[in-house]
Structure 1
Amino acid sequence: RPGEWLADVLGRDPLAVPRLRRNDAVLAAVAGAFAVGLAAFAKDGRQPDPIGWLLLTGAVLPLAWRRTHTFPAMLAGMACVAPYHAMDNAHVAPMPATLILLYTVASLSRPRTTAVVGVGIVGVAVGVMFAVGMHQGIEALRTSGWIVAVLFLGSEMRVHRRYIASVIARAEHAERTREQEAARRVAEERIRIARDLHDLLAHSITVIGVQTSVASHVLTVDPDRLDRAALARALEDIADTCRTARGELRTTLTVLRTDPPGDTVGPPGAGGPGRGGPLPDLAALPGLAAASGAALTLCPGDDRLPPAVAAAAYRIVQESLTNAVRHGGTGVRVDVAVERRDDALHVVVTDEGDGAPHDPAAPAAPPGFGIAGMRERARSVRGTLSAEPRPGGGFRVAAVLPLQPTETPE
């Protein structure tokens, strides 16, 4: 659109535009044609003679180098303009080229340099014209306002471009900061999953050890009265535990394979990414919901849930309750439903908050990355998660966590 195009042209660096030399050469050609037309029809001086035409050409030609060699171009132009006016040629003819050169100097130079150039140009021009005649001197003094106005315009454009550049730099810095913060939060969530996985494997290995001891006891205590059924049960339990642990490990390693080296997220036991302790499951949800004042509907079914799925459900509910209380206040109504349906665990957390901080006097907090962490948690067990505002107000988080075996045949 024209408005956006104009804003882009006015805001970009004049030295960074494409085809800079070609554009300036075209501008010099256009300004030269315009100067010839003004010189041919102007009535404020005599028609230029061959020397006058040569000086006029010399005043316009430096425009082709106005941005690549700004000060040499200006000096070359002024060196031709001064004798051109002193010879009382058509005075209006070189004015467009002169004003363009002065604008370029002002838009690319410091204010002090611009002021020195302006005083020098106005002084020389007025002095030369007074040397020609009193009337011409007074006319030059009257029209010197155009020179001052062009210098002010160039200075203002320089300030405007610097402001636009600073705004763009701040926006890019803010975007990089948000991306780095998001990456850090996701890394923390992955490390927390890794800790949970460690707890799961430690538990599975302990169970395998106990079951192996039972099998060994059955074999060695009384070989003559070998209880084959008990031995078979112990071995079958060992096999089941190995399959479960292997499946949980495979699903979680898909998310953890890009973990950064080292573990510097936080101290163990501190709660959050760096906490230790047993792997959470649905048995801890009633206490979690009660602490947040949420209404809980829990229907996990009769069969044992995979530990990673139960832990993922717990963490999703935990983060959702934290967000609900943070944005809606401690009195906000929150409903939590965890149900087992169609070989999947469905987790739905809804609240009736308005999505704003509950303390009006508190400053606005920066956007968090809890939703990204919840999606990582759901993805770790091959599930899906959606989080969106509700049409009537509030927020809704819904996750579907598959319960089928996560280990695939080789």
Structure 2
Amino acid sequence: MRTGIGRMSGGPSPHALRSDAYRAAALAALSIVIGLTVMDGRRPDALGWTLLLCAHVPLVWRRRRPLLALCVMIPFIGPYHALDYNHNAAITPVMMVLYTIAATGTARRTLVTGVSVLGVTLIGNAAVPPHQVVEVLRISGWIVAVLLLGTYVSVHRQYVASVVERAERAERTREEEARRRVAEERLRIARDLHDLLAHSITLIGVQTSVAAHVLAADPERLDREAVAHALDDIADTCRTARGELRTTLEVLREHTVGEGDGRGPLPGLDGLPDLAAAARIAGAKVDLSVRAEGVPPAVGAAAYRIVQEALTNAVRHGGRDDLWVRVQVFEREDALRVTVTDDGTGSTADGGTPGFGIVGMRERARSVGGTLDAGSLAGADGGFEVSAVLPVRRGGGG
């Protein structure tokens, strides 16, 4: 199970590298501003600026190799602090890497990294004057706080992913239970019809044979009364079988309408805000727009499941810290149009082992007579879109 960014298999996409490069450049600009304005140590000279800017370069691959980024950063940060350049300017890149290590790794890796960084910090400042002890403790507190924040984000992502997985497992269990009940109901109906019709058809066959025998036994001395009696028996048997069949069908119809399938009301468009809220909890920024009223329950349920699966895939495979997802559901030309678009960098449809999510969404659309398309956005740096058209039949059977 993927728990966030920096844990995908395969090489990073150009879009992800470009995005990380922009972030590294922005943090470098922030460090320069801090180095010129907030003084804690002497102002960097040419060597100091070089060390400071080089320390930001490993941020480009921090999500893919956070530990490697930290190791490459240390040879620049260490001499920078040792030469007593402005210490505040070098805080942001280190904190960003530490947060990424905690947010994308295991608790053990986070603990080992935190102890190592704190140890190096304390050893490096062992000979500081007494009046700077408070400053050392402040820096250590910031390191611990950042690691705890990253750990919380990692645990929260895992929790959300486990909740989504449990919900999907429960949905699959309900569907399997429904299929099992349908199969059992078919067997029960088959037994009822067999018990009802087999006896009547057998009687009709016997009575028909008797009539045929009477007609063929002695044509010169035809017993019209026996033939008439046999035909009356056949008619009576047919009437009895027809009445019993009608009674059985009425009982089956009442059973179906009265008891239902035991699954409760179908989810609909009114449940989409809850899906958007769950995706926002997972870290995605969701823009939800619903403009449809009076949609048949079956169509609303199909739209709900499609949006649910698309949001799940976006959160799982988006691969971005600031993942944006746009959900549009609107009625147009007697059809419900559902569009889920994200600007993420990862998708099981574009490499890797494919799952059953897209297949399931297409089956949902086909179940109500609709169509569904899913794939990467053409001409865009990353991103994925799911688009479905579900016919709306007013007053129909849905």
Asked whether the two chains share a fold, i.e. TM above 0.5, the reply is yes
For residue 114 of structure 2, what is the aligned residue in structure 1? 118
The CA deviation at 1:306 is: 5.5
Contact 2:48 2:85 in 1 (8 A): yes
1:186 corresponds, among 182, 187, 209, to: 182
* 1:216-227 superposed matches below 5 A: 216-227=212-223
For residue 400 of structure 1, what is the aligned residue in structure 2? none
1:314 corresponds, among 219, 244, 251, to: 251
For residue 368 of structure 1, what is the aligned residue in structure 2? 262
The CA deviation at 1:20 is: 3.8
Q: Structure 1 residues 12, 105: closer, same or farther in 2, change over 3 A?
A: closer
The CA deviation at 1:62 is: 1.3
For residue 172 of structure 1, what is the aligned residue in structure 2? 168
Q: Structure 1 residues 173, 234: closer, same or farther in 2, change over 3 A?
A: same
- CA deviation profile, 1:327-348 (whole Å, cap 9, x unmatched): xxxxxxxxxxxxxxxxxxxxxx
Q: Confirm whether residue 35 of structure 1 aligns to residue 26 of structure 2.
A: no
Q: Structure 1 residues 15, 202: closer, same or farther in 2, change over 3 A?
A: farther
- TM-score, normalising length: structure 2: 0.56
The CA deviation at 1:158 is: 1.5
Let me know the Cα RMSD of the aligned residues: 3.6
SS at match of 1:185: helix
For residue 13 of structure 1, what is the aligned residue in structure 2? 4
Q: How far apart, in 2, do the equivalents of 1:193 and 1:371 lie? A: 25
Q: How far apart, in 1, do the equivalents of 2:79 and 2:129 lie? A: 14
1:95 corresponds, among 81, 91, 96, to: 91
Q: Structure 1 residues 309, 68: closer, same or farther in 2, change over 3 A?
A: farther
The CA deviation at 1:57 is: 1.6
Q: Structure 1 residues 204, 174: closer, same or farther in 2, change over 3 A?
A: same
* 1:280-295 superposed matches below 5 A: none
The CA deviation at 1:311 is: 1.1
Counterpart amino acid of residue 262 in structure 2 = G
Contact 1:58 1:76 in 2 (8 A): no
SS at match of 1:94: helix
1:159 corresponds, among 155, 158, 164, to: 155
Q: Structure 1 residues 371, 121: closer, same or farther in 2, change over 3 A?
A: closer
Counterpart amino acid of residue 192 in structure 2 = D
Percent identity reads 48
Contact 2:43 2:85 in 1 (8 A): yes
Q: Structure 1 residues 94, 233: closer, same or farther in 2, change over 3 A?
A: farther
Q: Structure 1 residues 303, 369: closer, same or farther in 2, change over 3 A?
A: farther
For residue 336 of structure 1, what is the aligned residue in structure 2? none
SS at match of 2:140: helix
* 1:73-88 superposed matches below 5 A: 73-88=69-84
SS at match of 1:45: coil
Contact 2:196 2:241 in 1 (8 A): no
Q: How far apart, in 1, do the equivalents of 2:63 and 2:210 lie? A: 88
Q: Confirm whether residue 145 of structure 1 aligns to residue 141 of structure 2.
A: yes
Q: How far apart, in 2, do the equivalents of 1:127 and 1:233 lie? A: 114
Counterpart amino acid of residue 158 in structure 1 = S
Counterpart amino acid of residue 205 in structure 2 = G
The CA deviation at 1:229 is: 8.0
SS at match of 1:93: helix
Counterpart amino acid of residue 108 in structure 1 = T
For residue 26 of structure 1, what is the aligned residue in structure 2? 22
Q: Structure 1 residues 369, 157: closer, same or farther in 2, change over 3 A?
A: closer
For residue 215 of structure 1, what is the aligned residue in structure 2? 211
Counterpart amino acid of residue 14 in structure 1 = I
Q: How far apart, in 1, do the equivalents of 2:72 and 2:215 lie? A: 106
Give unpaired runs (5+ residues) of structure 2. Answer: 267-398
Contact 1:35 1:93 in 2 (8 A): yes
- CA deviation profile, 1:274-297 (whole Å, cap 9, x unmatched): xxxxxxxxxxxxxxxxxxxxxxxx
Q: Which has the larger Rg?
A: 1
SS at match of 2:74: helix
Counterpart amino acid of residue 215 in structure 1 = A
- TM-score, normalising length: structure 1: 0.55
